[in-house]
Amino acid sequence: NGIIKKAKEITVLCDAKVSLIIYSSSGKMVEYCSPSTTLTEILDKYHGQSGKKLWDAKHENLSNEVDRVKKDNDSMQVELRHLKGEDITSLNHVELMALEEALENGLTSIRDKQSKFVDMMRDNGKALEDENKRLTYELQKQQEMKIEENVRNMENGYHQRQLGNYNNNQQQIPFAFRVQPIQPNLQERI
């Protein structure tokens, strides 16, 4: 704590850039860096003035890779601005032709995907219509079967009453009405 206190005092009194890293025997790390700077700035300044390499080849390669990715990102940002139609006045004729071709390819791809989507929706609609027709047919068939069953139940009930009435010598109804949806209307033939 005393050393960190002295580092803070040197920063204030001498207007110096100070960075301090302490590792205790238990492995605990304590660090201090002047508010006006960062650790990397101090290390870069040390590397420039002393000529000693603080970074090994692995770190150097990582640093180069980070720089390369940053450059790629910047060029992609510029290309994206060009694709959006921004800042195209700086492009020459060849670059404008390449940009136009890329946009046409993208438009063709979008139209193909849109066409496939419309076809898929049409196919789904046709499948839904077919399923609706099939279900309507099944419902109608079940309703007809239910009507026929109700008619049979009514006829069976009528015949049982007739037998009961016949046995009891009560008045008998001469005929029964039956619904026949399949038979044509006989009056229409004349």
The tens digit of pLDDT for each residue in 67-123 reads: 999 999 998 988 888 778 787 887 788 888 888 898 899 899 999 999 999 999 999
Tokens standing for residue 167: 């046995």
Cα separation, 132 vs 134, whole angstroms: 5
Tokens standing for residue 17: 């850039």
Tokens standing for residue 48: 């420039």
Domain range list for the chain: 1-54, 55-90
For residue 19, give every residue at least 6 positions away whose Cβ sits within 8 Å of its Cβ, in sequence order, or none: 31, 32, 33, 34, 37, 39, 42
Contact 166, 172 (CB under 8 A): yes
The DSSP call for residue 185 is: P
pLDDT for 170 equals 45
Distances (CA, A) of 185 to 148, 175, 182, 189: 18, 19, 9, 7
Distances (CA, A) of 52 to 25, 42, 64: 27, 13, 19
What is the model's pTM?
Answer: 0.37
pLDDT for 47 equals 80
Cα separation, 174 vs 152, whole angstroms: 18
> How would CATH label the architecture of 1-54?
3-Layer(aba) Sandwich (3.40)
Contact 55, 40 (CB under 8 A): no
Contact 46, 54 (CB under 8 A): yes
Task: Determine what percent of the chain is predicted with pLDDT higher than 70.
Answer: 79
The residue ranges of the chain whose pLDDT is under 70 are: 54-58, 157-190
Q: Letter for the amino acid at 37?
A: T
